[in-house]
C-alpha cells in the first residue's frame, strides 16, 4: 500500500447489496460480519444497509493507517459512537482534547512500573476471592462462570482502581446496569439513522442503566473539589488533572472517566475469561498442558506475582483466546477529511468498521484461522506476522491503556483457579451474540472439583 493514500488512484468499491447484507445481519450480526470479512479477505467493501453504508476495513495495512498512520483523520464519532454518549460522555472513550486530557490524567495508573507495583495486591485479592469458591466446589453443582468471575474481578479491581471510594454494594448495582447497556444499545447501533425522538426497544433499559451509573459515579464526582490530592487510585488521579490553562476540570470530566474506567476494566476482564472455558472443553490437550504448567509453577501455594514469569504457556493461551474472541470486537471510526485508502475514496462523514474479530479470522493472515492453537504465539513464531494482524487492544494513540493490567489480572485468576480446583467445563459450544462487548449467547457453566492435596 502507498505510504501516501491521498496519491492513490481510486477504484469502484465493491458494495454488498441490501438483500445480501441486511437479512444476514438481522439473523446473526456477529457471524454475518465475520463471513463478510472472510469473503472480502482484506479488500475494503461497503455494506448497503439502506441509507446507512459503512465501509468494512480488515487488511492489516489499512487497519494500521486508520488506527495509527493517519489516526487524526478517523475519529470516535458518527453513527456507532453517538448512542454511547449519554453513558461515556467526553472522557477517555471520546476523542480530541477531552480524550487527550483524560489519557494524560490516567496514564500514571497504567505504566508498567506501576502495574508491577500493584501485582502483589492483585494476587492477594484474587487468592482471597478464590478461597470463597470452596463451598461451591464442595457442593459439586455447575456454576455460572460470568457470575462468579464478576465477584472475583469486582472485589479485586474495584479496590485497586477506586480504593474505598465506591462500595462493593454500589458496584454490584452497576454490573447488571452494564449488562443491560450492552444489550439495549444494539438496535440503536444497527439502526443508526433512526432519530432519538423515535423510541426503539432497549431505549428505556438504557436510560435506566445510565441513571444507575450517574447515581454512583456522578455523586462521587461532585465531591472532587474537596477530595484529598494524595493517592494513586483513578479518582485521585482525575481530581489532580488540569486543563490547558492549569485550571481544575469539572465534575463532568471526573464522572465520564470514572464510568469509562469501570466499564472497560471490569466488563472486559470478565467477558474474556468467560470465553476460556468452552475452548478448554473443546481442546483437552490445551487444557492438560495449561493445567500441568500451572500446577508445576504454582503448586499448592497461593497464586502470587512471583509465579507469573513461569507461566509462558498460560500467556500463549490468553493471546490465542483474544485472537478468536477479542472482547472489544469493534472499533468504529468516522472520516474527517476525504482521502483514498486501498484505492477506495473515503469522504468526510463516512463510517468505517474495523474489527479485530474479523481481521483475526482472515485465512490469508492465519493458517487454520478458526482453530484454537496457542502455539501460534510461541516466541519463535510471533515476529513473523504484521503488527496489525493481531490487535485485541486496538492500536495507535487510542490503544487500550489497561492492556497490561488485563493480562496480569487474567493470568492470576486462571492460575489461581486451576491450581486450586479442577474445573470441568460444560462441553456445549459457546456462540457470540451482538453486544458492546463480545458475549456468549448462553451462560457458560463449569463444575469445580477441589484439587487433592497430593496433586497440587
pLDDT per residue as tens digits for the range 41-69 = 999 999 998 878 999 999 999 999 999 99
Backbone angles phi, psi at 75, to 5 degrees: -110, 160
**Which candidate, 110, 167, 175, places its Cα nearest to that of 149?**
175
Q: Which residues pair with 422 in a beta bridge?
A: 449
Residue 352 is predicted with a pLDDT of: 97
- 456: in domain: no
**How many other CB atoms are found less than 10 A from the CB of residue 331?**
22
131 in Cβ contact with 416 (< 8 Å): no
Residue range 274-278: mean pLDDT, rounded: 96
Could you give the number of structural domains in the chain? 1
- 419: in domain: yes
**In this predicted model, which residue has the larger pLDDT, 204 or 166?**
204
- Asked if residue 454 has pLDDT above 80, the reply is no
- 229: in domain: yes
Residue 72 is predicted with a pLDDT of: 96
- 95: in domain: yes
Residue 4 is predicted with a pLDDT of: 47
Which grid coordinates are listed for 287? 487444557
- Asked if residue 311 has pLDDT above 60, the reply is yes
- 350: in domain: yes
- 455: in domain: no
- Asked if residue 34 has pLDDT above 70, the reply is yes
What CATH number is associated with residue 351?
Answer: 1.10.630.10
Q: State what percent of residues in the chain have pLDDT above 70.
A: 95
- 170: in domain: yes
Domain of residue 39: give its range: 5-450
Q: Give whichever of 247-256, 259-268, 313-322 has the largest mean pLDDT.
A: 313-322
Amino acid at each position: 500500500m502507498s505510504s501516501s493514500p491521498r496519491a492513490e488512484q481510486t477504484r469502484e468499491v465493491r458494495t454488498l447489496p441490501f438483500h445480501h447484507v441486511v437479512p444476514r445481519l438481522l439473523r446473526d450480526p456477529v457471524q454475518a460480519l465475520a463471513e463478510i470479512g472472510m469473503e472480502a479477505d482484506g479488500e475494503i467493501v461497503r455494506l448497503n444497509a439502506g441509507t446507512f453504508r459503512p465501509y468494512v476495513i480488515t487488511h492489516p495495512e489499512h487497519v494500521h493507517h486508520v488506527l495509527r498512520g493517519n489516526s487524526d483523520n478517523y475519529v470516535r464519532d458518527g453513527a456507532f459512537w453517538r448512542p454511547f454518549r449519554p453513558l461515556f460522555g467526553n472522557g477517555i472513550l471520546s476523542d480530541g482534547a477531552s480524550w487527550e486530557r483524560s489519557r494524560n490524567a490516567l496514564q500514571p495508573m497504567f505504566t508498567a512500573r506501576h502495574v508491577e507495583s500493584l501485582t502483589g495486591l492483585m494476587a492477594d485479592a484474587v487468592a482471597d476471592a478464590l478461597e470463597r469458591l470452596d463451598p461451591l466446589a464442595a457442593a459439586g453443582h455447575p456454576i455460572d462462570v460470568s457470575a462468579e468471575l464478576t465477584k472475583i474481578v469486582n472485589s479485586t479491581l474495584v479496590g485497586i482502581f477506586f480504593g474505598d471510594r465506591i462500595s462493593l454494594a454500589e458496584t454490584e448495582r452497576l454490573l447488571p446496569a452494564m449488562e443491560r447497556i450492552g444489550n439495549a444499545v444494539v438496535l440503536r447501533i444497527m439502526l443508526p439513522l433512526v432519530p432519538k425522538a423515535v423510541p426503539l426497544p432497549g431505549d428505556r433499559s438504557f436510560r435506566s442503566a445510565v441513571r444507575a451509573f450517574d447515581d454512583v459515579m456522578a455523586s462521587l464526582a461532585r465531591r472532587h473539589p474537596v477530595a484529598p490530592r494524595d493517592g494513586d487510585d483513578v479518582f485521585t488521579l482525575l481530581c489532580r488533572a488540569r486543563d490547558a490553562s492549569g485550571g481544575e476540570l469539572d465534575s463532568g470530566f471526573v464522572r465520564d472517566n470514572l464510568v469509562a474506567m469501570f466499564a472497560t476494566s471490569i466488563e472486559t476482564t470478565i467477558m474474556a475469561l468467560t470465553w476460556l472455558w468452552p475452548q478448554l472443553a473443546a481442546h483437552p490437550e490445551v487444557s492438560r498442558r495449561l493445567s500441568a504448567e500451572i500446577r508445576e509453577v504454582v503448586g499448592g501455594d497461593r497464586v502470587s506475582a512471583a509465579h507469573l514469569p513461569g507461566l509462558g504457556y498460560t500467556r500463549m493461551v490468553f493471546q490465542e483466546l483474544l485472537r478468536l474472541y477479542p472482547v472489544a470486537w469493534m472499533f468504529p471510526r468516522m472520516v474527517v477529511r476525504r482521502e483514498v485508502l486501498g484505492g477506495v475514496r473515503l469522504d468526510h462523514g463516512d463510517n468505517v468498521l474495523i474489527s479485530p474479530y474479523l481481521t483475526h479470522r482472515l485465512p490469508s493472515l492465519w493458517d487454520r484461522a478458526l482453530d484454537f492453537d496457542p502455539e501460534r504465539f510461541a516466541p519463535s513464531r510471533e515476529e513473523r506476522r504484521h503488527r496489525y494482524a493481531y490487535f485485541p487492544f486496538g492500536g495507535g494513540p487510542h490503544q487500550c491503556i489497561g492492556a497490561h493490567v488485563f493480562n496480569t489480572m487474567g493470568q492470576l485468576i486462571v492460575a489461581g483457579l486451576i491450581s486450586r480446583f479442577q474445573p470441568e467445563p460444560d462441553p456445549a459450544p459457546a456462540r457470540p451474540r451482538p453486544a458492546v462487548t463480545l458475549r456468549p449467547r448462553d451462560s457458560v457453566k463449569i463444575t469445580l472439583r477441589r484439587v487433592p492435596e497430593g496433586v497440587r
